[in-house]
Structure formats: C-alpha cells, structure tokens
Amino acid sequence: MHKAVHTIVFLTSLFGGSQGHASQPPELTVAPPSWWVGMQSSTLQLMVAGKDIAGSEVTVNSPDVSIVKVASQDSPNYLFIDVDVKHATARQYTFTLRRPGQADTQFTYDIHRRRDGSRARTGFGQRDTIYLVTADRFVNGDPSNDAHAALVDKPQPDKPGGRHGGDIQGLIDHLDYLQEMGFTQLWPMPLLENAMDAYSYHGYAITDHYQIDPRYGTNALYRELSKQGRERGIGLIMDVVLNHIGSHHPWMADMPSADWINNQGEFTATTHRREALHDMHGVAADVSAFSDGWFVPTMPDLNQQNPYLATYLTQQAIWWIEYADLSGLRVDTYSYSDKAFLSHWTHRLMQEYPELNIVGEEWTVNPVITSYWQAGSNPDDGYQSSLPSVMDFPLQATLVDALKNQESWGTGLVELYSLLASDALYGDPYNLVIFGDNHDMSRIFTQLDEDFALWKMAMTYLLTSRGIPQVFYGTEILMANPHSDDHGVIRSNFPGSWPDDKVNGFTGENLTAQQQEARALIQGLLTLRRQHPVIATGQYTHYAPQEGVYVYFKTAKEGKQGHGDGAMVVLNKNAQQVTLPLPRFAAQLRGINTLQRWPDSSEVATATGEITIAPQSATVWLLN
C-alpha cells in the first residue's frame, strides 16, 4: 500500500527565481527560508513548524546534504533538523517527513551561491556618518501599502503613536538626498513584521523574523534599498532585536518549548538594573531579575539559554546580512539578553564576517558598564565579547551637560575632557558610535533648549570627534519636541513628503534662515570629513579646557609631525570673543606652517601666533 505524499513547494521568486524569502503555506513553515554554500560553519539547523510533526523521520534527496540530528522539544508542532551542508551545491533540495500512520510531507529548500566577496564585506566605520530614521515618519513613497487587510493597526496619521505611512519606497526615493547631504550609512528602525494591535510603527515588537512588514514593503524591496544605497555609497544597517518579540508572535500561541519565553511565558518586569551583571558583590537573583524580566507585557522576553532559540536568532542575523547585503547591525537592548548567548552570537557573526561592524545598545552613562561589552576591553571577570562597537551613551549625556552647565573647575567643558580621559576602558574607543540624540530621547535641539549656538557646537563636535557619528533624521533642519517627551512626537514626520506640508526639508522650501544654516553646516561638515579623511579617522588629542575654551586635534594616527594634514578644533563657550595664543599647542603644531579656518579659507594664522575665536562657537582650523 503506497502512502500519499503531500508536497509543499517554497517559492523563491524574490531573487530572480532562485533566492529569497520562501512563501509560507499554513501547513508548514521552515526557518531559515534558504541558505548559502560556502559559509564558515557547515552546520545548518532548520526549524520546521507544522501540525503534529514532532518525532518525524526525516530524509533528504541528495547525499550532498546529510542529516546530522532531528529533535523536538515540548510542542508537537515543531521539528529541529540539523544538517551538514559542507558539500552542498547551489540547488534545490527536497526533504521528506515521515510519521507512522500519516501521509508523508515534503518541502523543498534552496541553497544558493554566495555573492563574491560576501565574507570579506567591510562594515561601517570611522569614515562613515550614520543617518538614523523612523521609516514610518520619513517619506510615504507608496500610499497603497499604508494598511494591510491582515494587520489590525491601521493608519492614524494624526496620532503621535499611530502609523503615518512612511515606507521603504520612501527611503529609496530619497537616497539621493542622503547622498547629497553626505551620509554614508542608513539605519532604519526595525522594518520586520509587527502584527500588533497598536504602536506597531516603531518595529521593536517583531512577529515574523524573516518577513518585512507589508506596510513598509517586501523583502525584495528591502534588498533593493540596500542595492540602490550601495550604488550611491550608502550602506544599510539592520536594527536587530534579540531580547524580545511582540506578544502576537505565533510562538506565544504555541511555544516550541516551555522555556522558550522567560518567566514561564508570564509578564514579570525587568528591574533594568544592568549593574547586576558587573557587581562583584552581587547575587545571581539580581542578574536574573534584570536579564529575564520583560520590558512591557506586549514584549515577551526570549530565553536565549535555550540552544535551539539561540541558534534561531544567530542564523536569522546571518540570513539577513547575506540576503540583503548589509554593512552592519545595530542590536537593540543589547545587555538584556543572556550574557553567554551574546558572547556566542557575536563570535559566530564575526567568524562569518570578520570585517563586519555590529553596534550594541547599552543605555548607561557609566563607561565602565558600556565598555564591558566591547571586544578587547578585557573586563575583570574575563568575559569574552566579540562585539566590535557600542553606542556611546556616556558621551551623549556628557556632551549636553558640558555645553549647558556653567563653566567652573569641575563643570562645563571639563566634563567632556574628563570623560574622554576614560577611553582607556574601551577595546577601541574610535569604533564607538557617537550621537547627540536618537529615537528614544528628546532631540538634541530640544535638549539644548533650542540654543542654536550650542547646537552648532554640539554637531561640530560630533562630526569631528573620535568615533562613528550617528545623526537622527531631521536634526539637520532643527527638528525639535518642545513641551513633550512623547516618543511619537520625537519621531515626528520629516517635512516635505506629506500631503499638507508647506515646508520641505529635502528641497529647503520654506525653511527658516536658521534651519537653512543648520542644514548647510551639517552638509559642510560631512563634505569636510570626506575631503579630509583624517578628521574622521585621525588620532584624537586634546588639551585640558581653560577659561571656557576646549581645544582638540585630529591628526594622523601614526603620530608623525609635519605630515601636513589634520585639524584643530576649538570650542569656545564664552559669551565674548576670545584670543587664543597658539604656543601652548606647539607639540601638536610642530612642522605646521599655517592654520586655515574652515570654511573661511581667507582667515589664516601662523603656528606660533594667535587666533581669534568667536563667542559661543566651534571652529575648525585645517593644518598646513
């Protein structure tokens, strides 16, 4: 008696018929949806979901792929298949699942050829400037996808927390603007499916790890964004969430194992006490209370100690890097995930892509805690991290304080000087991502009480300091959030691409004179970074502030004097003009004949003379 065979074919038209996100019939889903030959690890774990498939015998139709292990956990509806793809070729393979007394089930699985040089891809770095966008609030390039029949959260453009309609097509349509401004990396907040009832626009409550939310576009369109960005010299950074999912994720209706979600799948709030991870006097209970707790009831906290979930999250990140040709990852709420998992996850990704960059979010103003996560920092407990970069929250907070606080022996610009003196804690302080604001805090113009002089000082500092600068969309036109710290207000629409907009931030139409000056400053500084790379990548050397004046240099890292390239930057917080004698800086000016003020090339000083600094200003002097 012959058994009936139910065949499920995975469509892969998104990659010219050979590669992409597989269609997902309701009977069976497979993750990752495809893979590639020539990866550093020859082991691939397929997570197959389907009704009552646990305990199936699995075969594959080619000896090029060997089945190493088949396992199930607590749910009868999941199967984990470990396969060795060391000898696989770029083709489609057929897997058969057999269960006693039931019809066989088959699925096809595509393994593709990798792009040439994929492993050697260069991630974002010091030469780059990152543009962070809330895609829903940037540009509505395709109004037809503003709502989706299967998704509850419909457009509410008049509500700060509602969906406004921005999408991937809008990003593609304005890549030329980013290029003209001089940005070289694009970091959109998460674009994966968020099938939540409300507040789905921010993207951090993921319900499908392998599918772009249809209100933003498609997987193919996301890859097109990456492709067109690279054609303009703009890399694409994906915002990755390892710590939690959205409460409407299919796992919440059917968890693969009882321990898939922390705290038995029930909401228990995190303490947010990240200090517990570093406390030599602390207890394990405080560590668990931090790491295993949830942010909010709508964001279940994942248990990365489960090895199958850990593998799923690792392969998911690799899949998107390979599929969309990414230049890096930003990892949300980095330290909230299991420490051992993070060590393994970063090691595995850097093993696959040695020149990739990954930046983790650790929101603390304590550099001891921030530096703990960066590779090469060598913390006292011997923790091994392969994370290349960390968001420099200590610098962000200190920069604002340094500009706003009154100048004294211990406050004002000296706060910035003192913080930078702690850079020895980091494995590589030049690879930190620095910023004035982001999507989770008041805009930098608001933080500085809309003081335009202080804003210019802040942005000049960020674009000439050490590290990799990140600019939040709209900063270049002084977007602000006065009288409100609502995230939906902070993430307001970028003016110029919405039906009733009278101001256009892209063309400059109806911008105020101050906004035009702000945009010109950002564009000019990004041009300066490109024309004088040492300003982006050079050695940072600073002098202790004196009487409200802080001076630092960017010069060639090898430290050779007389190289004829570099810059001196002067921050003057005084309300009056300052005359600055240059002999104090003789060590940095050795071999330099003249200093030329940027962008006013007509203002030139000799290295042994003096310069005049305008009140409340940041000035850049090119060394010749």
| 540 bridge partner residues | 554
Cβ neighbours of residue 278 closer than 8 Å, sequence gap 6 or more: 368, 369, 372, 379, 381
User: Helices (H) and strands (E) in the chain — how many of each?
Assistant: 15, 27
Q: How far apart are CA 360 and CA 374, in angstroms?
A: 9
381 a catalytic residue: no
> Catalytic one among 332, 352, 415, 423?
332
Q: Which residue has the tokens 């036109």?
A: 477
149 CB-contact burial (10 Å; exposed 0-12 / middle 13-18 / buried 19+): exposed
For 88-103, give the secondary structure using H, E and C. CCCEEEEEEEECCCCC
451 a catalytic residue: no
Judging by DSSP bridges, how do beta strands 567-572 and 208-212 pair with one another?
A: unpaired
User: Roughly how many angstroms between the first and final C-alpha of the chain, as a whole number?
Assistant: 88
Q: How far is CA 592 from the centre of its chain?
A: 39
Q: How far apart are CA 39 and CA 52, in angstroms?
A: 32
Q: How far apart are CA 587 and CA 574, in angstroms?
A: 25
> Catalytic one among 110, 128, 352, 361?
361
| 434 bridge partner residues | 469
Asked if 222 and 173 touch (Cβ cutoff 8 Å), the reply is no
Cβ neighbours of residue 69 closer than 8 Å, sequence gap 6 or more: 80, 81, 82
Which residues belong to the active site?
A: 332, 361
